[in-house]
Amino acid sequence: MYRLESTLVVTFEHLTERRPQVSPEELLAGFRPSERFGEVSFETYRPDPQQPSQSAAVEALKKFAASMGQSPQGSGGFFSKLFGGGSKNPAAAQGVYLDGGFGVGKTHLLASLWHAADGPKAFGTFVEYTNLVGAMGFRNTVDALSKYKLVCIDEFELDDPGDTVLMSRLMRELSDAGVRLVATSNTLPGALGEGRFAAQDFKREIQVLADQFDVLRVDGEDYRHRGLEKAPNPVVPGTEEATVEEKFPANSRIAVDNFANVVEHLSQVHPSRYRQLVADLDGICWKNVEPITRQDIALRFVVLADRLYDRDLPIVSSGVPFDQVFTEEMMAGGYQKKYFRAVSRLTALAREAATGERA
């Protein structure tokens, strides 16, 4: 395990031995942009000159951020919007929906808004907010988030009707409390234009809240390219630790586990704690990756994949490649957007471990 150039060693740990206990305050403190978007700004966003809607979205969101210290023009809260209509000026809107295809920089723009706006404020994915409600309870979540000026919801999803109704209710109560809301959509890689989660879908699902949201289009091509790239070949079984020692710097902390044990362990840890489950690690090593056949386990694994991607943790693995970790039925079913996203992110992290290039 020792390297010739250093007396420092790679430290191996086990995810299956981690059982994080997280207070409500710690959960709420985690609602901020991940490390990937920890220092982005409107200035670091690079609008495509061929897509004027991108520059227009930047300017509109700058105005929205500047208006955070003001009461929305013409708005007395939810019920006044219901009966009086709302302004079409995003700076005066109670909420904004960023409508665009996969890979046009909506999360970058949302994180830039969060950084630019006055707090207190929260930033999380749709799934993180539903998990927060599961961990804290609906009323406690409303009470906590009602104290915020801004709530950003990334990757709004429609594939679970119960969660969609829950989030619509949460957003309505936050809006009643004067909280400004901004959301982006979750879209399927390769589905730009065709079958895209678009503004009309979003507005239909949030029902009477729809009039409070101004839509900002963010047109453009997917900078990450469409579809899923082929996952890199897994390492030879029995060489996992040696590969980690070769690929990772000395003094790295790597969680090495049998894959089946990891997915079983996820059922014992609430998804709201997955961020803490992978805290302080530098990488992941999974032995004998195999297809997941149960939907409940697969959906938990998707949340873990998101948290690994947020932390930018490279993955060394043996077994099947990550483009085979979900069954064909899952990849074609109602939760396909989640599974496509997970495969794309896991593949990027596996490629980062293999090449050393950031995902």
- Dump the DSSP string for 7-70: S--PEEE-GGG------HHHHHHT-S--GGGTT--TTT----TT-HHHHHHHHHHHHHHHGGGS
Q: By C-alpha distance, which of 302, 210, 22 is closest to 134? A: 22
Give the lowest-confidence range in 60-64, 102-106, 267-271, 354-358.
354-358
- Rounded CA-CA distance 257/265 in Å is 11
Is the pLDDT score of 109 beyond 50? Answer: yes
Give the lowest-confidence range in 108-122, 148-162, 263-277.
148-162
Q: Is the peptide bond before 90 cis (omega within 30 degrees of 0)?
A: no
Confidence category of residue 315, pLDDT binned at 50, 70, 90: very high
Is the pLDDT score of 203 beyond 70? Answer: no
Mean pLDDT over residues 6-12, rounded? Answer: 74
Q: What pLDDT sits at residue 3?
A: 43
Give the lowest-confidence range in 154-168, 188-202, 204-218, 284-298.
188-202
Which two three-digit tokens encode residue 215?
């839509």
Which residues contact residue 249 at a Cβ distance below 8 angstroms, ignoring those fewer than 6 apart?
282
More reliable by pLDDT, 290 or 34: 290
Is the pLDDT score of 50 beyond 80? Answer: yes
Residue 205, amino acid? E
- Rounded CA-CA distance 82/64 in Å is 21
Q: What pLDDT sits at residue 89?
A: 64
Please report which helix (H) or strand (E) contains residue 317, including its range.
strand 315-319
CATH 3.40.30.10, domain 31-218, yes or no: no
Give the lowest-confidence range in 88-92, 157-161, 209-213, 326-330.
88-92
Round the average pLDDT of the chain to a whole number and report it.
84
Domain boundaries, the chain: 11-21+228-355, 31-218
Query: CA angle, 335 as apex, 332 and 336 as ends, to 5°?
Result: 40
Mean pLDDT over residues 187-202, rounded? Answer: 49
Mean pLDDT over residues 185-201, rounded? Answer: 50
Confidence category of residue 162, pLDDT binned at 50, 70, 90: confident
Mean pLDDT over residues 2-7, rounded? Answer: 44
Confidence category of residue 193, pLDDT binned at 50, 70, 90: very low
Q: What pLDDT sits at residue 196?
A: 47
Is the pLDDT score of 171 beyond 70? Answer: yes
Q: What pLDDT sits at residue 71?
A: 52
Confidence category of residue 65, pLDDT binned at 50, 70, 90: very high
Mean pLDDT over residues 181-196, rounded? Answer: 58
Please report which helix (H) or strand (E) contains residue 244, including its range.
helix 240-247
Confidence category of residue 70, pLDDT binned at 50, 70, 90: low
Which two three-digit tokens encode residue 57?
């979205």
Mean pLDDT over residues 50-54, rounded? Answer: 92
Q: What pLDDT sits at residue 149?
A: 95
Q: By C-alpha distance, which of 61, 88, 62, 58 is closest to 75? A: 88
Is the pLDDT score of 33 beyond 90? Answer: yes
pLDDT above 90: percentage of residues in the chain = 58
More reliable by pLDDT, 214 or 55: 55
Which tens digits make up the pLDDT trace of 220-269? 865 544 455 677 899 999 999 999 999 999 899 999 999 999 999 999 99
Task: Say which CATH architecture domain 11-21+228-355 belongs to.
Answer: 3-Layer(aba) Sandwich (3.40)
Distance of CA 295 to the CA centre of its chain: 20
